[in-house]
Structure 1
């Protein structure tokens, strides 16, 4: 073998495999890393985005805006839970009955608002658009769909709870809605889903994992549009 070829082969052998941020801890940690970078600087220390709305502390929510947010959120959770139940891909079955489901809780909350004399609005464009996108994605692109599944459910248990608390303090006399309550130990429920996602992702190629990670920005875009309904 010519000298140059020997050197080239040796160099190739010694090149370390590229490691992705969080990869050593499992794929969910990779997803978390990408998601945190998409937060604004005031939302998380890892955040890199500049805020395009006021900080939550300065929000002036209204009951009507909050109801729009809850109604559109329910459309999204109804869709996610229907997709998992239908299971177009076998891996979706793994995410049934996780304890993170929110559809029934939201139905109870909307019924409570109705009992208080509030008119429940019809679903609006942000929720309907996101639900339609999730339906389409779930039929043809399981990696991208599970990116949305992860971000919607996990974000609600973190930033979502904080937002719910602040809004409740301002317009609901600090009432805690069912949307922000879970049956059982939430940290354990999250850990169970985390382990399932890691297990499912073990069968994915690196390209499929990267494709999943690239979908994170779209998840943030859709969820952000629904969140902004609170301020209308």
Structure 2
């Protein structure tokens, strides 16, 4: 998928005469009794090295040297040396702008976004649709149509139960809880269908949904809480245990699963990143609705 990574200096090199070159690179062998030009050639069948230089005999290629040459010639993908999760993170960062992440590469939108003024009603839509997506992801890994999905059961990153508690709190405050809307319904249906036939693509959505929420999602939650919830921290933004360790455990599992994939399957997973951002972005925009 994605790798990008002389002017002539000959004019600046001073001219070197042929005699200078010979003086630097050759060593003539002579003794007080025998000069270079009077060495008798008595055995023409033997090679005569006039300059006294030693040459190494060519080494026949071995399996090890052939394998090393092949490995050197392979295309390396950004982050590949650190594991597949790093590859996924690199691709995700490319879809961020510089103001969203320091590693972002995407051009900022020419038209500025509308003033960020979240409302409780819009936030509730976001929470409801988010819960639907997390419910779907967690049911998929519990069912495990593909054995590798079972690796991601009970990771500690699950969010559906926490969101159920938050929605119950809003209801206690007198708010009406809306039904899921198109963004959440569409994303839920998409990952459900994807999980049955395309495990690599599904894993991409799984990774981006949970890891994005643990990073940018937390910052958004804090900002919303300050603006419309009197600073209340929702359960959606709390984890049991050390979040960094929970994330590392899931990284290790993702890397382990991807070890069994071909390069083509890994690339296919990475190619799904943009769709993941599209779906999650539509749900996030509900906060401003």
Normalising by structure 1, we get a TM-score of 0.92
Matched, 1:180 2:237: yes
> C-alpha deviations, 1:17-64, integer Å up to 9, x for none?
110000000000000000011012210122122345998995110000
Using the alignment, how far apart are the partners of 1:52 and 1:201 within structure 2? Answer: 34
Which one has more relative contact order, counting CA pairs under 8 Å at least 6 apart? 1
Normalising by structure 2, we get a TM-score of 0.74
> C-alpha deviations, 1:143-195, integer Å up to 9, x for none?
00000000000000000000000010000011000000000000000000000
Aligned with 1:90 (options 131, 137, 147): 147
Change (3 A) 1:110 1:130: same
SS at match of 1:121: coil
Counterpart contact for 1:56–1:163, Cα < 8 Å: no
Taking only aligned residues, the RMSD between alpha carbons, in angstroms, comes to 1.9
Identify the residue that residue 136 of structure 2 maps to in structure 1: 79
Give ranges in structure 1 of 5+ residues lacking alignment.
1-8
Identify the residue that residue 218 of structure 2 maps to in structure 1: 161
Q: Which runs of 4+ in 1 moved over 2 A?
A: 12-15, 48-58
Identify the residue that residue 195 of structure 1 maps to in structure 2: 252
Change (3 A) 1:226 1:51: farther
Using the alignment, how far apart are the partners of 2:180 and 2:200 within structure 1? Answer: 27
Change (3 A) 1:166 1:13: closer
Using the alignment, how far apart are the partners of 1:115 and 1:54 within structure 2? Answer: 39
Counterpart contact for 1:21–1:30, Cα < 8 Å: yes
Larger helix proportion, structure 1 or 2? 1
Counterpart contact for 1:57–1:166, Cα < 8 Å: no
Identify the residue that residue 136 of structure 1 maps to in structure 2: 193
Matched, 1:16 2:64: no
Identify the residue that residue 6 of structure 1 maps to in structure 2: none
